[in-house]
Chains A and B, each alone.
Chain A
Amino acid sequence: MKTNIQSSVVPIIVTQELTKKYDNSIALDSLCLSINKGEIFGFLGHNGAGKTTTVSMLTTLIAPTSGSASVCGFDTQKESIEVQKCIGYLPENVKFYDSLTAYENLEYLAKLSGVKNPKEKINEVLMFLEFDDVEKKKLGEFSKGMRQRIGIAQAILHDPEVLFLDEPTSGLDPMGIKNLRKIIIKLNREKGMTIFMNTHLLSEVAKTCTTIGVLNQGKLIYRDSLVHTMERFHDESSLEEIYFTLGDKH
């Protein structure tokens, strides 16, 4: 499925020599990356490759050891508040506030994002996600798939330009994965949102993303559009083989 409807050559996420070290280990090594507005970027890599570390730095959660990054034209270190205003983020395995209802969770997070009319905005977002009659239910009663949709809802309440998703399909059943894929594509097509998605599910990348990047032991070993990737490795039977071929070369 090709979704690159609104992508342009305006870079919206740029990193320069972005590096993160923890004690003696390097989690991310001199990452240089540029993602254009309107892309759905699939960030691939094994567990522990440095994907979450990268997202954590891009979303202002942690500071890099060296190098720099900018999102929406703002430096993640020097203009973190501006960056936070233009991004939405769904971390991996977030459980929200289970004593509150879905609506209360969304209202709380909308207010913290500075949304002016939270009630109107929540209704609008829930309608967009085709999610109704759930506002009064406590989140403890939700399935993983429904929680993930609430997760997307909280991330887009303030109409961000860039949406970061960390392993969004983790723990979802096939139906949940299909629904989430539909939402991601809809957000990109209808709202023009740039999406940065961490994943290790190659099949999802093939069905959803326009561009991919492969991270191996903290180093970016590959970055290209999905179309070019499939053309370049035309003799390879699947994206999975491409992934392992790249991994073997490094």
Chain B
Amino acid sequence: MDKIFTIAKKEYKDAVRNYVFVTFLAFLIVLTGISMYVGALNFHVKVSLFEKTYQALIAAGQPVSTLTRPEFFPLQLLRATIEYLEIIGAILAISLGYLSIAKEKGNNTLPLIFTRPITRKKYYLGKLVGNLALIVSVCALLFITIIGIITFVGGIHLSSLEIAKILLSAFATFIYLSIFFLFAALCTTLMRFPSNALILTFVVWLFFVLIVPQIGDTMDTDNQVPGGFFNAIHIDQPQSKIILQQFTLYETLRNGIEETSITKHYERLTFALLGIKDIYNGKSLGYIFLDKVWEVLWLLGFFFTFGTMSLYAFSRSKVLLQKVE
């Protein structure tokens, strides 16, 4: 256990001293901070305006019944953050997974480690603990910043349910980023040349993070018209369901394409938790969990599959000891 901790500590230290990782992290935090700050400030201005108008009407002896307080769902401010995490967060995790193995191969340090009394499995577990701890730190830093901005800039008091939803979204983010870390580590372990592994990982990233969700979104009629396609042509939900029954093959195909994307599962889960998708706004955690259990299972499935595969590959791979010229 001591050795696993030693390796984990070294991995953590190595990553935070890496300028590629630090640059991506800083970029992610700045983007999140700006989007949250603008959103919170906007709400703050709306509330102030409402308060001023309300006071002015009272002072003038005018009725205030027609004045409606601006409705605001603070968790919806996290939409941009989730979208940044889907793309930049995944790149950050890929760079971590790639560097964690590629540096060892490039610097020929693995023979130093494997001639010491420690098993390969234990060594990889140490790497895993260190890097996953780093991803936890990234998520904690990001979501604490978010809660801080909502509370102190927006002046909004978050309920315990809202905080719980943010924390669960942070956990989903941890799983999502870890999947990309594990996938990059797996490819870099298996391929002789780390640069090829990086190219492959980015092709997969491009396909499942950017292309597949776009195909799914484009095929979804509701996403083509603001407010939804059926809503725009004044067809209510029960009727739209009847119409969609005529297009089951199309819907199955569209859904099937989206199901292959890790990003889509993460987005569906977090959008439900944060109420970004309106139908989940104000719903209980139990309701959201039951409705999104499939997304949870997909994410955990990817996490454990890549985790097991990378552990097995690292323990077995002969490629690890081939010199990279």
Residues of A bordering B, CB below 8 Å: 56, 59-62, 81, 84-85, 87, 89, 91-100, 104, 108-109, 111-114, 154
CB pair B2–A111 under 8 Å, yes or no, is yes
Residue B69 interfacial (CB < 8 Å): no
CB pair B14–A96 under 8 Å, yes or no, is no
Tell me the count of chain B residues lying within 8 A, CB to CB, of chain A: 25
Q: Given the known A-B contacts A56-B321, A84-B117, are A91 and B14 also in contact in the complex, defined by CB atoms under 8 Å?
A: no
Instruction: Look across to chain A and name the residue whose beta carbon is closest to the beta carbon of B106.
Output: A95
Residue B116 interfacial (CB < 8 Å): yes
Cα of A93 to Cα of B323 in the assembled complex, Å: 10
CB pair A111–B115 under 8 Å, yes or no, is no
Q: A59-B115, A93-B108, A99-B14 are in contact. List 12 more A-B contacts (CB 8 A).
A: A56-B321, A60-B114, A89-B111, A89-B112, A94-B109, A95-B108, A97-B14, A99-B17, A109-B112, A109-B116, A111-B6, A114-B117
Cα of A56 to Cα of B108 in the assembled complex, Å: 13
CB pair B17–A96 under 8 Å, yes or no, is no
Q: Given the known A-B contacts A61-B321, A99-B18, are A112 and B113 also in contact in the complex, defined by CB atoms under 8 Å?
A: yes
The 0/1 profile, CB within 8 Å of A marked 1, for residues 215-254 of chain B is: 0000000000000000000000000000000000000000
Residues from chain A with Cβ under 8 Å of B6 in the complex: 108, 111-112
Cα of A62 to Cα of B116 in the assembled complex, Å: 14
Q: How many Å from the CB of A31 to the closest CB on chain B?
A: 19
Q: Given the known A-B contacts A95-B107, A100-B13, A100-B14, are A81 and B112 also in contact in the complex, defined by CB atoms under 8 Å?
A: no
**Closest 6 pairs (CB-CB, A-B):** A95-B107, A91-B111, A99-B17, A89-B115, A111-B6, A84-B117
Q: How many Å from the CB of B131 to the closest CB on chain A?
A: 15
Residues from chain B with Cβ under 8 Å of A111 in the complex: 2-3, 6
Cα of A58 to Cα of B19 in the assembled complex, Å: 38
CB pair B3–A112 under 8 Å, yes or no, is yes
CB pair B107–A60 under 8 Å, yes or no, is no
Residues from chain B with Cβ under 8 Å of A85 in the complex: 117
Residues from chain A with Cβ under 8 Å of B111 in the complex: 56, 59, 61, 89, 91, 94
Residues from chain A with Cβ under 8 Å of B318 in the complex: 62
CB pair A97–B118 under 8 Å, yes or no, is no
Q: Given the known A-B contacts A95-B108, A98-B107, are A112 and B14 also in contact in the complex, defined by CB atoms under 8 Å?
A: no
Cα of A243 to Cα of B274 in the assembled complex, Å: 75
Supply 16 A–B pairs (Cβ within 8 Å), ascending by A: A56-B321, A62-B318, A62-B321, A89-B112, A92-B108, A93-B323, A94-B107, A95-B107, A96-B107, A100-B10, A100-B17, A112-B6, A112-B113, A112-B117, A112-B118, A154-B112
Q: How many Å from the CB of B224 to the closest CB on chain A?
A: 49
Q: How many Å from the CB of B4 to the closest CB on chain A?
A: 11
Residues from chain B with Cβ under 8 Å of A99 in the complex: 13-14, 17-18
Cα of A94 to Cα of B10 in the assembled complex, Å: 18
Cα of A92 to Cα of B109 in the assembled complex, Å: 10
Residue B7 interfacial (CB < 8 Å): yes
Greatest chain A CB density within 10 A among B2, B17, B111 is at B111
CB pair A61–B114 under 8 Å, yes or no, is yes
Residues from chain A with Cβ under 8 Å of B3 in the complex: 111-112
Q: How many Å from the CB of B125 to the closest CB on chain A?
A: 13
Greatest chain A CB density within 10 A among B109, B116, B118 is at B116
Cα of A84 to Cα of B116 in the assembled complex, Å: 5
Instruction: Look across to chain B and name the residue whose beta carbon is closest to the beta carbon of A86.
Output: B117
Residues from chain B with Cβ under 8 Å of A112 in the complex: 3, 6-7, 113, 116-118
Cα of A84 to Cα of B114 in the assembled complex, Å: 9
Q: How many Å from the CB of A77 to the closest CB on chain B?
A: 14
Residues from chain B with Cβ under 8 Å of A94 in the complex: 107-109, 111-112
Greatest chain B CB density within 10 A among A59, A81, A112 is at A112
Cα of A105 to Cα of B27 in the assembled complex, Å: 30
The 0/1 profile, CB within 8 Å of A marked 1, for residues 1-31 of chain B is: 0110011001001100110000000000000
The 0/1 profile, CB within 8 Å of A marked 1, for residues 48-72 of chain B is: 0000000000000000000000000
Cα of A61 to Cα of B321 in the assembled complex, Å: 8
